[in-house]
Amino acid sequence: MFGRMGEGIDGQFNIDKIIEKQLLKRLLDSFSTATRLFVAVTDVDGRCVLSSNKGDCDFCHLVKANPLGLERCQGSYARAGKQAEKWNEPYFFRCHAGLIAWACPILSNNGHVGNIICGQVMIWEPEDLFWQEIAESTRELEPDNGVLLKAAHKLDIVSATQVQAAADLLYIIANYLAESGTDRLNYQQKLRSMGSWLWVNCQQQERQPKEKEGTKTRFANLEDGIFQAIRDNDAEKAKQLLDQLALRFFTHSKGQLEVLKGLSIEFIITLGRFATECGVNFEESFRRGMLKFKELEDADTIEKVFVWLLTIGNAYVDTLTRQEFDANEAVVKKAVTYVQQHYASPDLSVVEVAKAAYISPNYLSRVFKRQVGCSILEYIRNARLEQAKLLLKHSDKNSSQVAKNVGYHDRTYFSKVFKQVTGVSPNEYRRKHLLQ
């Protein structure tokens, strides 16, 4: 998840490196409100890093107020955390004072970085022996044990089912932390790499002859190159050209953040439109690009804008070059379905079918021919004639009516096309069928 990144300067667990502290605090508070249980995040040594607003129960508060009691609590949390890490699941345990608690491990790619601790509770009706154990285990913390025992009697009894459900919820939160931490680590690494990449390339550009500042024609040339590389299924070249385009954006914007954002948005919209023309599902394309605009809005540095631009751009390139067959297959399927449903329309055209499939007519014609073996117009004609054959066989409609039912205005033209394909006229086809 976050490896050594989870540690602060002093070696302690640094929550801010993993997840926004405010968000985690909200998760912990919501959990406590829903379950009425205390929950906290600790480091691997059992030291509390963050806790819910619902503090410790009175008993635990009194125990931790004593330095020896606090040390024992941390030791219990640390040992439980190690067991939870060993099995990668919630680990139930009795703390040093005899109460029930459980730990969920926070894991990383490089090891165990912390725990989520919940408790302490009782899950059965206590007997006299239990109170004797409490008195014995806390004798060194308070000589007369009177105050601690009174606090212990206030503890809630929680059913085993409730405890298991709470543990499951915490395990989900721990896994969320793992995923979130990985994303944050990768993002920070990308930002550092982007800063270095930008500095090196800007230095190289300064040593090259200055280009004349003009319109966005030079952007269009690079964009066309990217699209052509995608058509050629050359992902590496497309990504190299995308890098060049990003640098051109930086030069043109003169480092102005809002200008750079505007250029980036404009290109991603164009790329999304191209992806749709290439057969990528519109909803998928929208999710890949548009739904991430909030990240761009929040970007407050040039590096963050570039990470946004190149991450989404490269994802599009990978989708369009690695999944070409599946995407084209889906496009053809949409086109075929639309033709089968609308062949009776006399105005059915390649443009109309392409619009229904969310791609350009030229691209549809090229893909359709390659996958089906005939042009779209030939497919429309064949679909109409197959339906005409059925009507001639199984109805008493005359040729004019049949022609109209399958999308032909002119009966004479329909008869001509029918004979070209089948070798006989519509009436001859019907007579032949009747004789058979």
Tell me the CATH number at 339.
1.10.10.60
CATH of residue 117's domain is: 3.30.450
What does the pLDDT average to over 198-220? 55
Based on the fold, state whether residues 271 and 306 are members of the same structural domain: yes
Based on the fold, state whether residues 312 and 337 are members of the same structural domain: no
The confidence score (pLDDT) of residue 305 equals: 82
Q: pLDDT band at residue 165, thresholds of 50, 70 and 90? A: confident
For 81, the domain range is 3-185
> Number of folded domains in the chain?
3
Based on the fold, state whether residues 141 and 114 are members of the same structural domain: yes
Is residue 341's pLDDT more than 50? yes
The confidence score (pLDDT) of residue 6 equals: 39
pLDDT tens digits, one per residue of 291-340: 566 677 777 787 788 888 888 888 888 878 765 445 567 778 888 889 98
Question: Looking at 322, 354, 373, which one is the last position of a domain?
Answer: 322
DSSP secondary structure of 294-345: HHHHH--SHHHHHHHHHHHHHHHHHHHHHSHHHHHHHHHHHHHHHHHHHTT-
Asked whether residue 199 is domain-assigned, the answer is: no
Mean per-residue pLDDT over the chain, rounded: 76
Question: Looking at 322, 350, 379, which one is the last position of a domain?
Answer: 322
> Which two structure tokens, joined as six digits, stand for 122?
């009782």
Question: Looking at 322, 337, 372, which one is the last position of a domain?
Answer: 322
Q: CA nearest 270: which of 305, 236, 309, 234?
A: 309
Can you tell me which residue has the tokens 């980036």? 264
Based on the fold, state whether residues 87 and 119 are members of the same structural domain: yes
Is residue 420's pLDDT more than 70? yes
What does the pLDDT average to over 209-222? 59
Asked whether residue 68 is domain-assigned, the answer is: yes
> Which two structure tokens, joined as six digits, stand for 229?
């590389």
Is residue 265's pLDDT more than 70? yes
Based on the fold, state whether residues 290 and 337 are members of the same structural domain: no
* Distance, CA of 214 to CA of 328 (rounded, Å): 38
Based on the fold, state whether residues 243 and 278 are members of the same structural domain: yes
Is residue 428's pLDDT more than 60? yes
Asked whether residue 283 is domain-assigned, the answer is: yes
pTM of the model: 0.41
Q: What is the DSSP letter of 106?
A: E
Asked whether residue 201 is domain-assigned, the answer is: no
Asked whether residue 36 is domain-assigned, the answer is: yes
The confidence score (pLDDT) of residue 163 equals: 79
Q: CA nearest 142: which of 245, 23, 59, 248?
A: 59
The confidence score (pLDDT) of residue 109 equals: 61
Based on the fold, state whether residues 336 and 308 are members of the same structural domain: no
Q: pLDDT band at residue 279, thresholds of 50, 70 and 90? A: low
Based on the fold, state whether residues 284 and 297 are members of the same structural domain: yes
Based on the fold, state whether residues 314 and 250 are members of the same structural domain: yes
* Distance, CA of 144 to CA of 80 (rounded, Å): 29
Based on the fold, state whether residues 176 and 220 are members of the same structural domain: no
Q: Which residue has the higher pLDDT, 199 or 318?
A: 318
Is residue 375's pLDDT more than 50? yes
Asked whether residue 190 is domain-assigned, the answer is: no
What does the pLDDT average to over 177-196? 52
Q: pLDDT band at residue 182, thresholds of 50, 70 and 90? A: very low
The confidence score (pLDDT) of residue 310 equals: 82
> Which two structure tokens, joined as six digits, stand for 310?
């190149």
Asked whether residue 81 is domain-assigned, the answer is: yes
DSSP secondary structure of 23-87: HHHHHHHHHHHHH---EEEE-TT--EEEE-SS---HHHHHHHHSHHHHHHHHHHHHHHHHHHHHH
Cβ atoms < 10 Å from Cβ of 133: 15
Based on the fold, state whether residues 221 and 265 are members of the same structural domain: yes
Asked whether residue 11 is domain-assigned, the answer is: yes
Based on the fold, state whether residues 43 and 161 are members of the same structural domain: yes
* Distance, CA of 252 to CA of 19 (rounded, Å): 35
